[in-house]
A and B are shown apart, each in its own frame.
Chain A
Amino acid sequence: AQSVTQLDSQVPVFEEAPVELRCNYSSSVSVYLFWYVQYPNQGLQLLLKYLSGSTLVESINGFEAEFNKSQTSFHLRKPSVHISDTAEYFCAVSEGNGPASKLTFGTGTRLQVTL
Chain B
Amino acid sequence: NAGVTQTPKFRVLKTGQSMTLLCAQDMNHEYMYWYRQDPGMGLRLIHYSVGEGTTAKGEVPDGYNVSRLKKQNFLLGLESAAPSQTSVYFCASSQERDSRPYEQYFGPGTRLTVT
Of A13-21, A58-66, A71-79, A104-112, the one touching chain B: A104-112
The verdict on A90 contacting chain B, using a C-beta distance below 8 Å, is yes
Once the chains are docked, how many angstroms separate the CA of A90 from the CA of B56? 24
* A55 within 8 A of partner (CB): no
B90 near A43 (CB under 8 angstroms)? yes
Separation of A32 and B104 alpha carbons in the complex (Å)? 13
A45 within 8 Å of B (CB atoms): yes
Q: Are B101 and A9 in contact (CB under 8 A)?
A: no
Closest to A106 in B: B42
Q: A43-B90, A90-B43 are in contact. Are A103 and B100 (CB under 8 A)?
A: no
Q: How many residue-residue contacts, CB under 8 A, span A and B?
A: 60
Chain B 75-112 per-residue mask, 1 if CB under 8 angstroms from chain A, else 0: 00000000000000010101010011101111111000
- A90: chain B residues at CB < 8 Å are 42-43
Residue tally, chain A, CB below 8 Å to B: 25
Chain B contact surface mostly: strand
How many chain-B residues does the 8 Å CB contact rule pick out?
27
Contact flag A42-B108 (CB < 8 Å), given A105-B42, A107-B40: yes
Q: Please give the distance in Å from B73's CB to the nearest CB on chain A.
A: 17
Interface residues of chain B, those whose CB is within 8 Å of chain A, are 4, 31, 33, 40-45, 48, 50, 56, 58, 90, 92, 94, 96, 99-101, 103-109
Give chain A's interface residues, CB within 8 Å of chain B: 4, 9, 32, 34, 36, 42-46, 49, 51-52, 90, 94, 96, 99-103, 105-108
12 more contacts with CB within 8 A, not counting A42-B109, A105-B42, are A9-B40, A32-B101, A44-B43, A44-B92, A96-B100, A96-B101, A100-B31, A100-B56, A101-B96, A103-B43, A103-B104, A107-B41
